[in-house]
Amino acid sequence: MTSRSSSRERILAKVRSALADAPDAPEVTRDYLASHTSDDPAALLDLLHENLTDYRAVVHRSTEHHLPSLIGRLLADQGARTVVVPPGLPSGWLASTRVEQCFDAGPLVPAELDSIDAVITGCALAVAETGTIVLDAGPGQGRRALTLVPDLHICVVNASDQVVASVSQALPRLDATRPLTWISGPSATSDIELDRVEGVHGPRRLEVVLVID
């Protein structure tokens, strides 16, 4: 331990000596644009819709009133028989579905999660320029495993207050101490021959519902 410590100190001393006469680091200019998008809410929503679709997510628009019936139809169309319900998810969202609801009490073990067809969550934010949805394990989102194991993820985004233009606008609104999950489309990867495979380390299908007033 003494030898290692002495070697480390000798190396650091040489680095300090070499840097002693180095000029001070220049000031970093931070006059770059915070976003490249209009502040118009309709334009932001259209851009988010476009980029989500480009990442192969399936995007829907709905009002709060029609949200339960849309969720029920999406689950039925995908043949889902079971759905994970994260803590804090508004109960009315699943009012129009007969799918068996599984609550993450206990919590659900991996084998139980693997047997469930779908999960429905809210989100923390959505970034229009990158087509990215951010989850932070807040109410209605649940722990990260809930959105990584089931094959279908239905994510609800409130268009009025959860859509920002850029990552730089998103970061100040997020809590870095929370477990942030950044989602850009369904889980996918490609091998050396660029053959795309979906569902490798997350849901095979991502359905995003943009709720407008």
Identify the CATH class of 39-212.
alpha beta
Give the Cα separation of 133 and 131 in Å (integer).
7
Q: Which residues contact 91 (CB under 8 A, 6 or more apart)?
A: none
pLDDT at 2: 54
pLDDT at 200: 57
pLDDT at 134: 97
Q: Which residues of the chain carry a pLDDT beneath 70? A: 1-5, 187-202
pLDDT at 187: 63
Kindly list the distances between the CA atom of residue 187 and the CA atoms of 12, 14, 43, 56, 159, in Å, as whole numbers in the listed order.
44, 47, 27, 10, 23
**Nearest to 133, CA basis, from 83, 167, 160:** 167
Alpha-carbon Rg for the chain in angstroms: 22
pLDDT at 171: 95
Tens-digit pLDDT profile for residues 33-62: 777 887 889 999 999 999 999 999 999 999
pLDDT at 21: 84
Q: What pTM did the predictor assign?
A: 0.81
- Greatest CA separation found in the chain? 73
